[in-house]
Structure 1
Amino acid sequence: MNIKSLLLGSAAALLAVSGARAADAVVVAEPEPMEYVRICDVYGAGFYYIPGTETCLQIGGLVRYQINFDEDDEGFRKQSLARVHLDARSETEYGTFRRYIQLQADINNAEAGYGEGYDEAGRGNAFLRQAYFELGGLLVGFTDTLWDGDISGEFDAAGGTRVNQIRYTFDAGNGISVSVGLEEESNDFDYVPLLVGKVSIAQGWGSVDIFAGYDDFYSEFALKGIAKIKATDALTVELIATYESGSTYFSNGDPYLGSEWSLGGYLKYQVNDKLTVGAGGQYFADLTANNVKSSIDAYAIGAVIDYKVVENLSAKLALNYEDSNLPADDGNFSGFLRLDASF
């Protein structure tokens, strides 16, 4: 065997080994294409699919600056406020599954004790404003009471606050729905919740809402009716009536500080796409406090100008006057200028 034969044989052996190793080499998978955020238009504008899921998420909020005026104060009260919300929704065999969180923080020059989560040193608040979930017609969590509802304007008092609750709404179709809620009042530590019911009718001519509530703390009930009628394309007539058998948590204004009955109305006129004006009033008969009735009557009137400056920036100017039949009550003017920048 000569040197040439040895070289050829060695080369063949090396090629064979190399080929065997190549056959055993690990194949690197192609990288998966990047999944960009997709728009979700099922629930309206501003929703996006969370990558890798069928859940749609909206992130929004507002920045507010408000200058408050009250005749009893010796100057203006200014407030800057920020709200941010997360709204996640998806579809299930039981209907839409919604999860909602809203946070709020503000800073103002009001006196101590102003608002939830008040920080006296910083004159501000930071708190969880809403947190609830909905599945089909079921709602569980902390949000506006089912009793919440009033006419437009900034003078009226129709009751309503945010509470922990369990609520169910049945949609009967054709703009008709029925809701029932069990709610926990903020100063109630017993085992019996507030019972609230609501019937809503919404049609092309407007809407009607009928409310009923029972408060076991005083064993009293409350009723409220609100109608909003479209007289023309630009003019809306709004009416409100309330009745309480005694002081209840559903009282007009603050809990346990209301009236036996009240009547009110409001006219709202849309001048154009940017400007809306309105005016109205409400009368309160036999004011009550902690289930003690009185012969004191009161009334409030007010006017509002709403203006859309640009998209997502609106301005509101409100002026109110309230008075009662107390001899020492000379009446009081109040109002505010508000700027809301939303996203």
Structure 2
Amino acid sequence: MRFLKSSLLGSAAAFAAVGAGHAADLPVKKAVPIEYVRVCSAYGAGFFYIPGTDTCLRVSGRARFEGGYQTSYTRQAGANGDTSGYQGRMRINLDARTQTAYGTLRAFVRLDAGARTGYSGVGTSGTQQRIGQAYPGIGTASFGRDQQFAIVHKAFIQFAGHTAGRASSFFDSYAHNFVFACPTAVSDVFSSNLLAYTATVGNGLSATLSIEDPDFSLTPIFSPVNISAT
């Protein structure tokens, strides 16, 4: 009896040893570490850390649909034409910020895209017609009313008081206004290519020196075309 018991215990020990040997030979798979997106509260709501970096990013945007009608001012008989139109627009904002030893490094991009057909959402002023946002209500389907467009609305970098890229003009103190009729001559210019430096004086005061591309805001004071008197 004692011999049988010893044999059984020896066999069990042998099987345990063999099982341990086979288990040691099996490949061990480690779980892939999961890096969860962390909230970045240093710059306000909506920011999160880009995984693996110290850069905070906020992604935002909007979608908009508009429709409108403008009365034709043509006197041509039967020329009703295309005096109504629609447009759908989209906007994407990317705001990335990184804290450095010299302050916050910021990169901002805003892209606008859309499609419109013969319609202006802000009236038919000469300014809006000049920049292609409006068409005169002459009752004819002309002026390339069916349009697809994409605009680099903003694309600038800010660091240590410097602003470089496409941003709102520092000379325009009434930008991005909301109006029901014709806008002012300057405030409809949403962006300019510029290089600027802003010095913070204190107590909420600052001073900015800006070099800007005058493509949109330049107003000539004389006509370069010679017109002969008749």
Query: TM-score with structure 1 length normalisation?
Result: 0.43
In structure 1, the partner of 2:139 is none
Per the TM alignment, residue 177 of structure 1 is displaced from its structure 2 partner at its CA by 1.0
Which whole-Å CA distance do the structure 2 matches of 1:139 and 1:38 have between them? 28
Per the TM alignment, residue 176 of structure 1 is displaced from its structure 2 partner at its CA by 0.8
Q: How does 1:1-343 map to 2 (within 5 A)?
A: 15-23=16-24, 25-32=26-33, 35=36, 37-62=37-62, 63-65=64-66, 67=68, 69=70, 75=83, 78-110=86-118, 114=132, 120=144, 122-150=146-174, 155-158=183-186, 160=189, 162-186=191-215, 250=217, 255-257=218-220, 288-290=221-223
**Secondary structure, in 3 states, of the residue corresponding to 2:146?**
coil
Per the TM alignment, residue 12 of structure 1 is displaced from its structure 2 partner at its CA by 6.2
Q: Percent identity?
A: 31
Per the TM alignment, residue 100 of structure 1 is displaced from its structure 2 partner at its CA by 1.3
1:148·1:161 contact (CA, 8 Å) conserved in 2?
no
**Secondary structure, in 3 states, of the residue corresponding to 1:29?**
coil
For 2:184, the aligned partner's letter is D
Rg bigger for which structure?
2
Change over 3 Å in CA distance of 1:170–1:94 after alignment to 2: same
1:150·1:157 contact (CA, 8 Å) conserved in 2?
no
Which deviates the most, 8-17 or 18-27? 8-17
Which deviates the most, 54-63 or 12-21? 12-21
In the alignment, structure 2 segments of 5+ residues that lack a partner are 75-79, 120-128, 134-142, 226-230
2:116·2:145 contact (CA, 8 Å) conserved in 1?
no
In the alignment, structure 1 segments of 5+ residues that lack a partner are 187-248, 258-287, 293-343
For 2:132, the aligned partner's letter is Y
Change over 3 Å in CA distance of 1:141–1:20 after alignment to 2: same
Change over 3 Å in CA distance of 1:22–1:90 after alignment to 2: same
Which whole-Å CA distance do the structure 2 matches of 1:87 and 1:78 have between them? 30
Q: Which has the higher contact order (CA 8 A, sep 6+)?
A: 2
Count of residue pairs the alignment pairs up: 189
Change over 3 Å in CA distance of 1:289–1:70 after alignment to 2: farther
More strand by share: 1
Per the TM alignment, residue 84 of structure 1 is displaced from its structure 2 partner at its CA by 1.8
Aligned-pair RMSD on alpha carbons?
A: 4.0
Per the TM alignment, residue 126 of structure 1 is displaced from its structure 2 partner at its CA by 1.7
In structure 1, the partner of 2:77 is none
More helix by share: 2
Change over 3 Å in CA distance of 1:32–1:69 after alignment to 2: same
For 2:88, the aligned partner's letter is S
**Secondary structure, in 3 states, of the residue corresponding to 1:164?**
strand
In structure 1, the partner of 2:136 is none
CA offset digits 1:67-108 (Å, max 9, x no partner): 375885784565433222111222121212222111112333
2:65·2:86 contact (CA, 8 Å) conserved in 1?
no
For 2:207, the aligned partner's letter is V
1:149·1:158 contact (CA, 8 Å) conserved in 2?
no
Query: TM-score with structure 2 length normalisation?
Result: 0.61
Which whole-Å CA distance do the structure 2 matches of 1:124 and 1:30 have between them? 48
Change over 3 Å in CA distance of 1:161–1:25 after alignment to 2: closer
2:199·2:208 contact (CA, 8 Å) conserved in 1?
yes
2:155·2:166 contact (CA, 8 Å) conserved in 1?
yes
1:59·1:87 contact (CA, 8 Å) conserved in 2?
yes
Per the TM alignment, residue 161 of structure 1 is displaced from its structure 2 partner at its CA by 5.2
